[in-house]
Structure formats: C-alpha cells, structure tokens
C-alpha cells in the first residue's frame, strides 16, 4: 500500500532556537504517541536543517525536508542551496512547486522540471505541489490547470523516477486563508490526479503514489479529509507551527 505522510511546511518562520525546540517536541511526541506507520516530515528553513537532521536520525519515522533547492548541482549561484547540500545534512524530501514559489519567485513548470531532476538525482523525494487559484476554480478550469502542472513538472520522468515523487494538491485559495476544500472537493481532485497518473504511468504506479492535501488543514478537519480514499496525508502550513496541533493531524493515521 502507498505511504501515508504528514508533512509540515514551516515556511520562513521560527528562529534557530525556536525551530530546534519545536522539532524536539515533535520528535518526542511522535516517539510517545504515534503507533501507525505514517511518516512525519518537517520542512524547515535551510538554517535549521543540519541540526534537525541530527535529531531526526534518532527517530525512525521522522524525516526532514527542504522547502526549495536550486536546479544546478553546484557553482556560482550566490545565495542558493543545492540538492546535494541539503542531502549532506540528512534531508530526505524537498518541497517543489509550492504556490508561493510559483507566484512570488516566478517558478515555471519548466524550471520545476529541472529542480525535480536535481532532487531525484541526489536520491531525495520531491513533494511536488499542484493546485488551482481561486479564479481557476471559479471558472471551472481547475482540472486542466492541474493536468498542465503535472505534464510540465513531472511527467517527463521515467516510471522508476516518478515512483519517488510525492504529490501535494494545494488549492491556492485554501492556503493560509482558513478556507479549506471540502472533503468532497478535495477527493474529486485527488481522484482526478490519480487517474491522470494512471493514464501516464499505469494503474500500479498510480495506486502507489502518495497524494497529500494542503490548504488550511487543522486538527478539526484532518480526519474527514484523510478519510477520503485518494487523500494519503497532508502538507500542513500554519498548524505545523504548533506541536500539539501538528501531532493531532499526524495521529489521524494511528491505527
């Protein structure tokens, strides 16, 4: 069966000390309270990753992720960080294609395809985000938008490469807004994503693909969202900054 994953995206929040303290709380709570085989991922700012990597090494099902990397392997790219560099401090996952990076940093599908290649080349797993804006939902254009994002960002991969990709459906209108897609709205898109993956890579790979939901998920709505057949976990922004809220979301998968 495909893996259930709950990933936190801290974005540009928390100083170093605050980040280490929150992560330590999460690691301890996971050790004490998580009884399923769900995977927990914390995507922290670059400056935290080295220390969090050492803490994560003590916890079997807690991993760390980066929120971005540069597409080149190394070189004269002042201010950038490579996939090999984040790998060297224990990172296993990298968020790519987050709507904030698409909107504020002009990241295109073509650039994201290059970043996906860079991440996979290091043996890391991309958490590849796709999702429509409010206007695209209101104009009923969202299936086409999502298909284009998949085709442009990850469908150039071989089946073996694609098997390492985690997808995250994040309707842009639900991110950080307190508006959540209803379980039915989210399930409809997740089923469409899985069908689209099946059409490209076959039913077996589609069935194994973890597809996360992201967009104002919290301890109150996570159970109904994660109960949907094609929702395999969450990418959690705001609620991942509070250890208790994050853990309650993780524990939805306790079996």
Whose Cβ is closer to ligand PEP: residue 65's or residue 201's? 65
Whose Cβ is closer to ligand PEP: residue 44's or residue 236's? 236
Lay out the site mask for ligand PEP across 153-182 (x = CB under 6 A, - = otherwise): -----------------x----xx------
Indicate which residue of 98, 107, 190, 248 is catalytic: 98
Q: Smallest distance from the beta carbon of 227 to ligand PEP, in angstroms?
A: 18
Q: Exactly one of 9, 51, 71, 196 binds ligand PEP (CB under 6 A); which one?
A: 9
Q: What is the largest CA-CA distance in the chain?
A: 48
* # binding residues, ligand PEP (CB under 6 A): 13
Indicate if 170 belongs to the active site.
yes
Residues numbered 214 to 243 that lie near ligand PEP (CB under 6 A) are 214-217, 235-239
Which positions are catalytic?
98, 170
Q: List interacting residues with ligand PEP (CB under 6 A).
A: 9, 170, 175-176, 214-217, 235-239
């Amino acid at each position: 069966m495909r893996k259930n994953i709950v990933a936190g995206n801290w974005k540009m929040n928390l100083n170093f000390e605050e980040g280490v303290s929150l992560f330590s709380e999460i690691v301890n709570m996971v050790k004490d309270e998580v009884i399923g085989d769900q995977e927990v991922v914390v995507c922290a700012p670059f400056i935290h990753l080295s220390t969090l990597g050492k803490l994560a090494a003590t916890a079997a099902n807690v991993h760390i992720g980066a929120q971005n990397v540069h597409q080149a392997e190394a070189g004269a790219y002042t201010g950038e960080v490579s996939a090999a560099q984040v790998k060297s401090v224990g990172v296993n996952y990298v968020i790519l294609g987050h709507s904030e990076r698409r909107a504020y940093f002009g990241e295109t599908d073509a650039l994201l395809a290059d970043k996906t290649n860079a991440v996979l080349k290091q043996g890391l797993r991309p958490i590849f985000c796709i999702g429509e804006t409010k206007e695209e939902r209101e104009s009923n254009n969202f299936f086409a938008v999502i298909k284009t994002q998949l085709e442009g960002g990850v469908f150039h991969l071989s089946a073996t490469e694609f098997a390492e990709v985690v997808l995250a459906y994040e309707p842009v209108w639900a991110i950080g807004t307190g508006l959540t897609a209803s379980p039915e709205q989210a399930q409809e898109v997740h089923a469409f994503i899985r069908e689209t993956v099946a059409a490209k890579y076959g039913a077996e790979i589609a069935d194994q693909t973890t597809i996360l939901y992201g967009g104002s998920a919290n301890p109150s709505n996570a159970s109904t969202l994660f109960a949907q057949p094609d929702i395999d976990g969450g990418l959690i922004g705001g609620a991942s900054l509070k250890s208790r809220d994050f853990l309650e979301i993780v524990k939805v998968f306790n079996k």
